[in-house]
Amino acid sequence: SQKIEQNSEALNIQEGKTATLTCNYTNYSPAYLQWYRQDPGRGPVFLLLIRENEKEKRKERLKVTFDTTLKQSLFHITASQPADSATYLCALEKTSYDKVIFGPGTSLSVIP
Amino acid sequence: DAGVIQSPRHEVTEMGQEVTLRCKPISGHDYLFWYRQTMMRGLELLIYFNNNVPIDDSGMPEDRFSAKMPNASFSTLKIQPSEPRDSAVYFCASSLGRFSGNTIYFGEGSWLTVV
């Protein structure tokens, strides 16, 4: 069956450490993968997009990798801060020019 | 731009009542989406429009749900009659251009509780 999986458990890390979140998918062939941040009571907010021909993308303290062979994307936050605490969602097109679907999200807590 | 605007932000209604959720997309965006988010099922796409025309409503759970987009700046999602299992957060979102990596901008959501 087709599905997207993210870290099933909430992730708790110490301030200053690197947080790594995982997004795995099966039976899709996305041309793009996106990461969003969602704070409690708010709508998701776009963070980063990575294309299938890109291995890595960076934006300030954020880094995303995309391995189409493993069908996996990793999302890293370096030098994490308590303000990074939120739920992070990965999203992808099932195939090129198809609708975007979202993973279940991973809750991240950065402990001071 | 003010972003995607949704109303009401919170709604509590009794089972069997009609619920209407409203959305104003970002000006100039030609795609509009309705998503539903629950703890059990996550963020699900219900329906999306392109240039006010419904393109895919395969995510609409049943005939009790309907959506319209009478013009480029307004859309509604209606539930009639509502049931307790419809309790969720409903997000409206919009984007510029086709998929292929275009950013989806979400509203703040309408929190629906059906008692």
CA distances to A32, A35, A81, B17, B84 from A106, in Å: 20, 11, 16, 34, 27
Calculate how close chain B gets to A38, using CA atoms only, in Å.
Answer: 10
Residue bearing tokens 């979202």:
A102
Mean local confidence (pLDDT), A67-86 = 95
Q: What angle do CA A39, A91, A61 make, to 5 degrees?
A: 60
Confidence (pLDDT) at B67: 98
CB contacts under 8 A, A 8-27 vs B, are none
A99–B contact, CB cutoff 8 A: yes
Q: Specify the range with the lowest mean pLDDT, choosing from A5-9, A85-89, B77-81, B86-90.
A: A5-9
Confidence (pLDDT) at A96: 58
Confidence (pLDDT) at B23: 98
Q: Does the pLDDT at position A67 exceed 80? A: yes
* CA–CA distance, B89 with B10 (Å, rounded to integer): 9
CA distances to A50, B7, B10, B23, B59 from B20, in Å: 36, 9, 12, 10, 18
Helix (H, G, I), strand (E, B) or coil at B37: strand
Q: What is the DSSP string of A52-112?
A: TT-SEEEETTEEEEEETTTTEEEEEESS--GGG-EEEEEEEESSTTSPEEE---EEEEEE-
Q: Specify the range with the lowest mean pLDDT, choosing from A63-67, A100-104, B7-11.
A: A100-104
Residues of chain A contacting B109 with CB distance shorter than 8 Å: 41-43
The fraction of chain B above a pLDDT of 90, given in percent, is: 86
Inspect the interface and report whether the beta carbons of B104 and A99 lie closer than 8 Å: no
Q: Does the pLDDT at position B93 exceed 80? A: yes
Q: How confident is the model at residue B1 (pLDDT cuts 50, 70, 90)?
A: low
Residues 6+ apart with CB under 8 A from B80: B18, B19, B64, B66
Nearest-Cα residue of chain A relative to residue B37: A104
User: What confidence tens digit (pLDDT) does each residue in B34-69 have?
Assistant: 999 998 889 999 999 999 999 999 999 889 999 999
Calculate how close chain B gets to A109, using CA atoms only, in Å.
Answer: 18
Q: Do B32 and B94 meet the contact criterion of CB atoms below 8 Å apart?
A: yes
In terms of Cα–Cα distance, which of A58, A31, A44 is closest to A88?
Answer: A44
Q: Does the pLDDT at position A1 exceed 70? A: no
Q: How confident is the model at residue A111 (pLDDT cuts 50, 70, 90)?
A: very high
Calculate how close chain A gets to B18, using CA atoms only, in Å.
Answer: 24
User: What confidence tens digit (pLDDT) does each residue in A29-50 have?
Assistant: 888 899 999 999 999 999 999 9
Inspect the interface and report whether the beta carbons of B107 and A34 lie closer than 8 Å: no
Q: Do A1 and A61 meet the contact criterion of CB atoms below 8 Å apart?
A: no
b/e map A68-103, b = 16+ CB within 10 Å? eeebbbbbbbeebeeebbbbbbbbbbbeeebbbbbb
Of B4, B45, B105, which has the smallest distance from its Cβ to A101's Cβ? B45
Q: Does the pLDDT at position A93 exceed 90? A: no
Q: How confident is the model at residue A101 (pLDDT cuts 50, 70, 90)?
A: confident
